[in-house]
Structure 1
Amino acid sequence: MNPMNPAHPMPFDTLTQDSYRQLEHAASLKGLLKPFKGKGELEHLAQVAREIEAQLCHLMVAVVQQAGQPPYSLLDIRLVLQNTSAGSTFLRWRTRDFARMGVAVWERQVRNNSLSQVVREGLHRFECERIALNLQMSVVHSLYRQASTCAIKMASAERLLRQFTTAAEISR
């Protein structure tokens, strides 16, 4: 099979609403926009954000697996998962030899005149999914970090209050 001009359009399973159904239920902002009564509620929010991150990662793996199928696997680019030092995962385009990375790698491939329109459109769908999933991962990871940080700050404030209350009781 020639990846530049496949004889038949390739099946492409985009991420559907069903793919997101569990995330949609878990990711309600209703739990975010309320008064937090203590560090436990913030820790719970951080835990929910971590669970959503894991689910997003599963969706990312599914996209990487689809992008690893012919005819895309025959091209000079790969869609890969990249773990960051901050603890999250993002989708990145890389050359087959891993020498270059980024959207410029994807752009160069899409501009290849010998690429068929069907493959070009498939690469476009992968890029749109990559952009959306990376946005979602970034937002959820930021929510996790903020909730975790706020839980630590709230615990510190609670400790200070207990210390002051205990010291005041002793001095009576």
Structure 2
Amino acid sequence: MRPMPQPPAFASLTADAYRQLEHAASLKGLLKPFKGKGELEHLAQVARVIEAQLQQLMAAVSQQAGRPPFSLLDIRLVQQNTSAGSTFLRWRSRDFSRMGVAVWERQMSCTNLPQDLREALYRIECDRIALNLQMSVTHSLYRQATACAAKMANAEQALRQFVNPVEESR
């Protein structure tokens, strides 16, 4: 491994990075009685907006991890789109033959890795873990809100089937 240049400080995500998400992501909007499918559709829409904002934060972290000195390592942080429609940050080997936290652990165990670079990789990993958790929860909320909105629409349709014939016979 070649000698590493002095790494710039990795800028971990701060409260400022999350400021926009704070207002949209209040649990007050979730823990209330929903009066119909419209409110659930709105909740799903809010979850989609938060997902897009989380993707922007993920892109910022992966861009930082893609610059020197990190780009000189045998590890890459990439955004991976899933078949479920969400995005996660994943560690990959430089040749893309291996993926997962084991790739990161292997890089961390290199004895010639400078301590400040090791600490920066640790901060990147902490941001990756937190962002993946937040994306997973937000995407699950989106899916559940969408499914529940459809169920409420079906319930409303069933009600109308049984209410309208009675009203028409009067």
Q: TM-score range by the shorter chain?
A: over 0.9
Structure 2 residue aligned with 1:101? 99
Cα 1:97–1:51 shift into 2, 3 Å: same
Partner of 2:61: 63
Q: Residue 27 of structure 2 aligns with which residue?
A: 29
Cα 1:111/1:4, change in 2 over 3 Å: farther
Distance apart, 1:6 and its partner CA = 3.8
- DSSP 3-state at the match of 1:160: helix
CA RMSD of aligned residues (A): 1.3
User: Which residue identity does 1:155 align to in structure 2?
Assistant: A
1:124-161 CA-to-partner distances (Å, cap 9, x unmatched) read 01100000000000001010000000000000000010
Total equivalences in the alignment: 170
Shift of 1:8: 3.2
Deviation at 1:12, TM superposition (A): 1.6
CA contact (8 A) 2:36 2:152 kept: yes
| Maintained 8 Å contact 1:80/1:94 | yes
Q: Is the 8 A contact 2:40 2:149 kept in 1?
A: yes
> What amino acid is the match of 2:140?
S
Give the letter for the 2:147 counterpart: T
Alignment check: 8 A CA contact 1:53 1:141 kept: yes
The separation in 2 between residues aligned to 1:169 and 1:9, in whole angstroms, is 75
1:53 to 30, 51, 54: 51
Tell me the amino acid that sits aligned with residue 116 of structure 1: P
Residues 1-172 of structure 1 aligned to structure 2 (within 5 Å) = 5-6=3-4, 8-172=6-170
Cα contact 1:10–1:118 (8 A) shared by 2: no
Measured after TM superposition, the shift of residue 11 of structure 1 is 2.2
Q: Is 2:7–2:69's contact at 8 Å kept on the other side of the alignment?
A: no
- Identity %, equivalent residues: 73
CA contact (8 A) 2:75 2:92 kept: yes
Contact kept? 1:14, 1:125, Cα under 8 Å: yes
> Deviations for 1:87-114, whole angstroms, at most 9, x for unmatched residues?
0000000011111100000000000111
Relative to structure 1, is the Cα distance of residues 133 and 119 closer, same or farther in structure 2, using a 3 angstrom cutoff?
same
Q: Give the deviation of 1:10 after TM superposition.
A: 1.8
Does the residue aligned with 1:93 lie in a helix, a strand or coil? strand
* Rounded Cα–Cα distance in structure 2 between residues aligned with 1:117 and 1:104: 19
